[in-house]
């Protein structure tokens, strides 16, 4: 029973939104996961809490929310993250900073 941490796509055409899920490796991409541990919005968003002038000069950001303790737990019990999730885990400080191929 191989468990993977991967992205499950939701949203509309040209407006993707992903759940970061823990699922069986052989199950379909959007089948019922074992656990949802976070979300990822790859469409750059402008900050909304700034004044108009500050918002124009502010850089857009991609939103990632992740339950770090659950991600560490699943990696600890042997779940294998996909390449995209591996990059997100490194950005969140959970990975060791190296690429997945180097490990």
Q: Which residue has the higher pLDDT, 30 or 78?
A: 78
State the pLDDT confidence band at 15, using cuts at 50, 70 and 90.
Answer: very high
Please state the rounded mean pLDDT for residues 50-55.
Answer: 72
Q: What is the pTM (predicted TM-score) of this model?
A: 0.81
Percent of the residues in the chain that have a pLDDT greater than 70, as a whole number: 91
- Six token digits for residue 81: 């993250």
Percent of the residues in the chain that have a pLDDT greater than 90, as a whole number: 56
Instruction: List C-alpha distances in Å: 2 to 10, 53, 64, 74, 81.
Output: 24, 50, 25, 12, 11
What domains are defined for the chain?
3-10+17-42+63-89 (3.30.1320.10)
pLDDT of residue 78: 93
Q: Which residue has the higher pLDDT, 88 or 100?
A: 88
Please classify residue 82 by burial: count the beta carbons closer than 10 Å to its beta carbon, then call 0-12 exposed, 13-18 middle and 19+ buried. middle
Q: Assess whether pLDDT exceeds 70 at residue 102.
A: no
């Amino acid at each position: 029973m191989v468990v993977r941490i991967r992205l499950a796509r939701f949203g509309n055409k040209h407006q993707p939104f992903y759940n970061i899920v823990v699922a069986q490796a052989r199950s379909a991409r959007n089948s019922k996961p074992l656990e949802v541990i976070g979300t990822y919005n790859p469409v750059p968003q402008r900050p909304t809490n700034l004044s108009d002038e500050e918002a124009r000069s502010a850089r857009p950001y991609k939103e990632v929310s992740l339950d770090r303790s659950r991600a560490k737990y699943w990696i600890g019990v042997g779940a294998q993250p996909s390449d995209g999730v591996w990059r997100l885990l490194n950005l969140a400080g959970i990975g060791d900073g190296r690429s997945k191929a180097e490990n």
